[in-house]
Chain A
Amino acid sequence: MLSPVVGVLFDGFAYGMLLFLLSVGQSVTLGLMNFINLAHCAFAMLGGYVTVTLVNGHGWPFFAALPCAFIVSAVTSIGFERALYRRLYRASDLDQVLLTIGITFTAVAIAAYIFTTAQQPLQLPSYLRQSVEVLGLRLAIYRLILIAISLIITCVLVAALEHTRFGAQIRAAVDNERMARGLGIDVDRTFAITFALGSGLAGLGGGLAIEIVGLDPSFAFTYLVYVLIVVSVGGLGSIRGTFAAAAVLGISDIAGKYYVPQLGAFLIYLVMISLLMWRPTGLFGRR
């Protein structure tokens, strides 16, 4: 019989995996081009709303809607990248912040207009809402699937980064952008593709997040803080770092609430501050 603590840790890890999906895109693009995209969670929110529309409104099965969330977010981000982001690659950090915050405000308003400000519940098939008994512990099926999907994506991403040419280009550009350009790597194009992929993953994360944390227009801002925390603790441009940071933060948040509820929300900030003071460039950061 496993003690109930393990169940809580399992939940924490699942929450961490959700944070990972939402943050991995941000980590890579920030590490790649130092482009601060505060609208990242707006793309996640878009993915969430696409999922809700397809599943609730058109009766699509959940697992068919998720790839759609990915594609819609990715394609939308390409549009934004071409129209707006491209002009600001060389601009100051502050201008990037202002632009992306402006985009987020607009996205939130549009979401509120189309979907109203109410919470969007998701009509999931009942088997996804149940739990299985493993060694005396009740594990929610949804969270098991969330963990599975995240692990698969992590493996795919790491493999792509390590074993493909495109992955090598990304790694080169993260390590030293000028050198990479000097070698003839089209960093702008690399960035555009990575950005699309990262936003797509955020959209996927948004779709998966609904069942765990709910969806309403304020999602775009609320999760931005958590994404920034994960990205900075993990280290820019590192998938392993994002994974480790997300797992640590997710588990410490949940475990903290179980053991020391008085600390509650404090813990995640304390963990972040301690880790950053110990390793300012992140757990696996390069710069």
Chain B
Amino acid sequence: MKRILYAGVALLAAAVLPAQAADTVKVGMIISLSGQFADTGMQMLNGAKLYVKQHGDTVTGKKIEIIAKDVGGINPPVAKRLAQELVTRDNVDVLAGFDLTPNALAAADVSLEAKRFMVNMNAATAIVIEKSPYMVRTSMTVPQLNTTLGTWAEKNAGVKKAYTMVADFGPGLDAEGAFSRGFKASGGDVVGSVRMAVANPDFSSYVQRAKDLNPEGIFVMIPGGAMPGAFGKALAERGIDLKKTKVMGQMEIADEHALASMGDAALGIITVAHYDYTHESKMNDAFVKAYNAEYGRNPDFFSVGGYDGMHLIYAALEKANGKTDGDSLIAAAKGLKWESPRGPISIDPETRDIIQNVYIRRVEKVGGKLVNVEIATFDNVKNPK
């Protein structure tokens, strides 16, 4: 009885409100703006806002409004509640953001129940996309990057024996699994592995264990922030020669801040990424310049996830002729192709996941500065099953 009553009220409200809804398309962004993941949320929001600034806030005659909500870190109950409130209180048409997987998984339930279009701008664990048929992803998946790296390491870099060191948490274990799959499938041998404490400022003991086994390659996956710098320093202190032993991992281990922190100790580190701000293309040059002008720092892959996410929303709206319900938007989003600052990308019509180029980069000194230089490109990589 109560359900019918509330459904009736909702329908009435929906009938009465269109006068407003017709003019604004609300995009609710659920991200971390405080706590240890605050930086990722900020970068994502900045990327999204930059897109709106560059392309105007009107699409198909409707105004785009971004409502940002702070989830404060890994907090699925709060993420779910925020998603519920965005849907019931603010009447958003799109649920977006999600810098962290647990939050995306929780909010996906709301997207499913309320049939709301959901743009996942970062959460990279593979299974996330399956939790709601209304979700698209504009970032990357852990297997997409790490399996490719594993394959490259064995085939192109001559690494036959590898040692894996990952932080003991979901993304770390996922990455380890993905890398090993690609590596072993090409004939490589994982000689040892270690799971490291997540909040770990000191890597010297772990690096020493790796050194004892003398592998040709070391695969690393640690959270961004302070760890990569500390890791690089541990490598230098324990005397690991990066020319002889290939140290490789996801882009976080050699991002801007990590490089600044490690200094020359970072030369030779190999990363796999879908985006780095040094990518050479006209579009990226313009993007980086605009981003610096607006926010005083370089964009990273969170920024580009937000930027491309907004593009997706705009393009889907246009293709759906301004219709904002979940079914129309998701149908429009499938198969969209466009040029992003990272390269060409598209949305897989079957899995709704992102298809993009994956780049292998190595840290080198260019013009006195440490940069990640592209040494290999894999085109149009899908999320491997």
Looking at chain B, what size class is its interface with the partner chain?
35 or more
| Interchain CB contact under 8 A, B237 and A264 | no
| Interchain CB contact under 8 A, A121 and B201 | no
- Nearest-neighbour CB distance to chain B for A65, whole angstroms, equals 17
In the bound complex, CA of A195 to CA of B5 (Å): 62
Interface hits, B192-242 → A, CB 8 Å: 194-202, 204-206, 208-209, 211-212, 225-227, 229-230, 233, 236-239
| Interchain CB contact under 8 A, A213 and B38 | no
Query: Does A138 make an interface contact (CB < 8 A)?
Result: yes
**B residues in contact with A212, CB < 8 Å:** 201-202, 230
In the bound complex, CA of A286 to CA of B189 (Å): 56
Query: Does B265 make an interface contact (CB < 8 A)?
Result: yes
Looking at chain A, what size class is its interface with the partner chain?
35 or more
Q: Which of B199, B202, B238, B297 lies in contact with A118, CB distance below 8 A?
A: B297
In the bound complex, CA of A138 to CA of B195 (Å): 24
In the bound complex, CA of A121 to CA of B230 (Å): 11
Query: Does B257 make an interface contact (CB < 8 A)?
Result: yes
- Nearest-neighbour CB distance to chain A for B384, whole angstroms, equals 29
In the bound complex, CA of A264 to CA of B172 (Å): 15
Query: Does B288 make an interface contact (CB < 8 A)?
Result: no
In the bound complex, CA of A216 to CA of B34 (Å): 12
| Interchain CB contact under 8 A, B206 and A140 | no
**A residues in contact with B198, CB < 8 Å:** 265
Q: Which of B226, B229, B263 has the most CB of A within 10 A?
A: B226
| Interchain CB contact under 8 A, B226 and A214 | yes
| Interchain CB contact under 8 A, A216 and B238 | no
| Interchain CB contact under 8 A, B36 and A218 | yes
| Interchain CB contact under 8 A, B195 and A257 | no
Query: Does B260 make an interface contact (CB < 8 A)?
Result: yes
In the bound complex, CA of A116 to CA of B81 (Å): 27
**A residues in contact with B237, CB < 8 Å:** 11, 131, 138, 140
| Interchain CB contact under 8 A, A118 and B39 | yes
In the bound complex, CA of A242 to CA of B201 (Å): 20
Considering the complex, give the chain B residue whose CB is closest to the CB of A11. Answer: B204
| Interchain CB contact under 8 A, B208 and A253 | no
Query: Does B65 make an interface contact (CB < 8 A)?
Result: no
**A residues in contact with B38, CB < 8 Å:** 112, 117, 217-218
| Interchain CB contact under 8 A, A213 and B233 | no
In the bound complex, CA of A11 to CA of B209 (Å): 14
**B residues in contact with A124, CB < 8 Å:** 263
Query: Does B126 make an interface contact (CB < 8 A)?
Result: no
Query: Does A126 make an interface contact (CB < 8 A)?
Result: yes
In the bound complex, CA of A38 to CA of B334 (Å): 51
Interface hits, A188-247 → B, CB 8 Å: 211-218, 222
| Interchain CB contact under 8 A, A213 and B230 | yes
B interface SS class: helix
In the bound complex, CA of A126 to CA of B267 (Å): 14
In the bound complex, CA of A222 to CA of B237 (Å): 25
Q: Which of B195, B208, B236 lies in contact with A264, CB distance below 8 A?
A: B195
Interface hits, B251-285 → A, CB 8 Å: 257-258, 260-261, 263-265
**B residues in contact with A117, CB < 8 Å:** 38-39, 42
| Interchain CB contact under 8 A, A7 and B201 | no
Q: Which of B39, B205, B238 lies in contact with A257, CB distance below 8 A?
A: B205
Interface hits, A235-276 → B, CB 8 Å: 253-255, 257-258, 261-262, 264-265
**A residues in contact with B318, CB < 8 Å:** none
Query: Does A151 make an interface contact (CB < 8 A)?
Result: no
| Interchain CB contact under 8 A, B201 and A264 | no
- Nearest-neighbour CB distance to chain A for B136, whole angstroms, equals 27
| Interchain CB contact under 8 A, A254 and B202 | yes
**A residues in contact with B42, CB < 8 Å:** 116-117
Q: Assuming A121-B260, A129-B263, is B200 touching A262 (CB within 8 A)?
A: no
| Interchain CB contact under 8 A, A129 and B233 | yes
Considering the complex, give the chain B residue whose CB is closest to the CB of A218. Answer: B36
Q: Which of A214, A215, A222, A265 has the most CB of B within 10 A?
A: A214
Interface hits, A127-162 → B, CB 8 Å: 129, 131, 138, 140
Considering the complex, give the chain B residue whose CB is closest to the CB of A131. Answer: B237
In the bound complex, CA of A254 to CA of B204 (Å): 8
Query: Does A164 make an interface contact (CB < 8 A)?
Result: no
Considering the complex, give the chain A residue whose CB is closest to the CB of B229. Answer: A214
| Interchain CB contact under 8 A, A8 and B204 | yes
**B residues in contact with A122, CB < 8 Å:** 261
In the bound complex, CA of A156 to CA of B202 (Å): 28
In the bound complex, CA of A214 to CA of B257 (Å): 10
Query: Does A176 make an interface contact (CB < 8 A)?
Result: no
Query: Does A119 make an interface contact (CB < 8 A)?
Result: yes
Q: Assuming A4-B208, A117-B42, is B35 touching A218 (CB within 8 A)?
A: yes
Q: Which of A121, A261, A265 lies in contact with B206, CB distance below 8 A?
A: A261
Considering the complex, give the chain A residue whose CB is closest to the CB of B35. Answer: A218
Query: Does A20 make an interface contact (CB < 8 A)?
Result: no
In the bound complex, CA of A264 to CA of B169 (Å): 13
Q: Assuming A121-B229, A138-B238, A258-B208, is B202 touching A129 (CB within 8 A)?
A: no
Can you name 21 A-B pairs with beta carbons within 8 Å? A4-B212, A119-B226, A119-B229, A119-B261, A121-B257, A121-B260, A126-B264, A212-B201, A212-B230, A213-B202, A222-B199, A254-B204, A254-B205, A255-B205, A257-B197, A257-B202, A257-B205, A261-B194, A261-B195, A261-B206, A264-B196
* Beyond known contacts A15-B202, A258-B208: 16 more, CB 8 A cutoff: A116-B42, A118-B297, A129-B236, A131-B237, A214-B201, A216-B39, A216-B225, A216-B226, A217-B38, A218-B36, A254-B204, A254-B205, A257-B197, A258-B206, A264-B168, A265-B198
Interface residues of A (CB under 8 A from B): 4, 7-8, 11-12, 15, 112, 116-124, 126, 129, 131, 138, 140, 211-218, 222, 253-255, 257-258, 261-262, 264-265
Q: Which 5 A-B pairs have the closest CB atoms?
A: A214-B226, A258-B205, A121-B260, A265-B197, A264-B197
